[in-house]
Structure 1
């Protein structure tokens, strides 16, 4: 695909330049037009066998022209689905703007709700900060008192080290390569859509680091890692606080990239953000469905954090 931008998107994840990086150019674009005007678009990752979410991608489509009546939405969704590549396995996370999920059920998809957390209006940062609970405010003060500063990073070295440290304490290996993370960051920088912020102390120790992906609508807390040695420093809380300040200068909303893990959900919620529901749609073979049912149960049995 050509490395360009398109206006027919719900988020930065649906831009051609981002999809080129995370899919290795393995994606297709489906459009529905009416009288020469695009009224529906779906960017579909397809590796020749299955349609599934690429790494570091929260949601993908469907983009619908604003203001379409429900009956028209249903028709456009049906037409987009009919044009999907032939495959026995589909699993896609829809953007939160896709509230009308019934057509997918009627078209044979399983539909599962998921939750992210957001500040939907960053226009008054002081009002945002007032929503922080006492633990968040305490951790911010603690980090500041310990001399922790938030700096802008120009490469992924500190970030990747923090990602590896985060997974190492769980006896796991970070699943994505440094090259992929670097490519995402470089492409985002080239398009004015990415920034890395890192928490360091006066001795040069790195406490935490995060990569943010953004456009004028939403800034996403895309990737984050922290050194377990400095877990009590409050640095990660301070980093998020400063990232929300930054987000208010470039986007209208801030998305924490919500988690289904209870501890992470609790951490995010303490900032006073609002839950936002989005939907996963899937359609798989019988054996694929059985695998999806058994996979989380097996993970729980072996103590894998979900």
Structure 2
């Protein structure tokens, strides 16, 4: 999803990509977003992009025993094409496990976590796998709220997030124009919905759901500040999961969090905890000093 050219055009017009080939076959790509701050070269995830890094393509007839070696060789080729950079902070796609290769190239491997829900089962079995208290909340919410896809509520999602972050003393890292441009691109490629839970005329919670052919993602969400809308958020995520199943997606990615409260909420959906690598490096004394003083 996050390596699609139209996504990258929307979030980072100056993006580029390393490309690995074997003969006339493309075996992998590594989109990247080169940046400069105070003369310091940076490689970081593009704005509004949770996962970046290498994407490897496997021959259809490749034996399982050969996949890891193929992945290693392709990523080594791609990494060798990237520009020399002083500072790295790149969150890789879940499933990329070539930690030794990255370490050999002078990068630190840190981890974050997400929760992946396998959509292979039927709807009833998916729901039965949820925590009992979550199922009760969803049943109650389905009687209390109506759910619709309403992109006109995007400014409201942005406002809810802004208020929540402000209460924590944190600034919004992107503008409303940024998210509107991305939503327009997603809708143009039939790859997003903005699920809105309403109680009467009041918007209780909003979930931005994006997807590609294989995976569906809980991309962004918020509840009305000051409201107690966990039931609404639970119902919205269940609705998004059902839609992903009906669409033919095989995985629903909750894009998990290291925040204990959010993690506890996500665990209730019965997904599999998946760790993913975050590549870090800082060879800039100036950058290190700036971060130390923050």
Regarding TM over 0.5, the answer is yes
Alignment partner for residue 58 of structure 1, among 31, 40, 50? 50
Identify the residue that residue 8 of structure 1 maps to in structure 2.
none
Please state how far the C-alpha of 1:39 moved relative to its aligned partner. Answer: 1.1
Structure 1's consecutive aligned runs of 4 or more residues displaced over 6 angstroms after TM superposition are none
Please state how far the C-alpha of 1:218 moved relative to its aligned partner. Answer: 0.8
What is the TM-score when the length of structure 2 is the normalising length?
Answer: 0.88
Give me the whole-angstrom Cα distance separating, in 1, the residues matched to 2:116 and 2:230: 25
Please state how far the C-alpha of 1:76 moved relative to its aligned partner. Answer: 2.3
**Equivalent residues, number:** 282
CA offsets 1:235-272 (integer angstroms, 9 cap, x no match): 11111111111111222111111111111000000111
Identify the residue that residue 212 of structure 2 maps to in structure 1.
215
- Report the RMSD for the aligned CA atoms in angstroms: 2.2
Please state how far the C-alpha of 1:70 moved relative to its aligned partner. Answer: 3.3
Identify the residue that residue 112 of structure 2 maps to in structure 1.
114
The structure-2 alpha-carbon separation of the partners of 1:152 and 1:69, relative to structure 1 and needing over 3 Å to count, comes to closer
Identify the residue that residue 224 of structure 1 maps to in structure 2.
221
The structure-2 alpha-carbon separation of the partners of 1:69 and 1:44, relative to structure 1 and needing over 3 Å to count, comes to same
Identify the residue that residue 81 of structure 1 maps to in structure 2.
79
The structure-2 alpha-carbon separation of the partners of 1:47 and 1:262, relative to structure 1 and needing over 3 Å to count, comes to same
Identify the residue that residue 30 of structure 2 maps to in structure 1.
42
Give me the whole-angstrom Cα distance separating, in 2, the residues matched to 1:150 and 1:267: 20
Alignment partner for residue 26 of structure 1, among 3, 6, 14? 14
The structure-2 alpha-carbon separation of the partners of 1:69 and 1:288, relative to structure 1 and needing over 3 Å to count, comes to farther
The structure-2 alpha-carbon separation of the partners of 1:70 and 1:132, relative to structure 1 and needing over 3 Å to count, comes to closer
Identify the residue that residue 182 of structure 1 maps to in structure 2.
180
Please state how far the C-alpha of 1:59 moved relative to its aligned partner. Answer: 0.9
User: What runs of 5+ residues in structure 1 fail to find an aligned partner?
Assistant: 1-11, 299-306
The structure-2 alpha-carbon separation of the partners of 1:255 and 1:291, relative to structure 1 and needing over 3 Å to count, comes to farther
User: What runs of 5+ residues in structure 2 fail to find an aligned partner?
Assistant: none
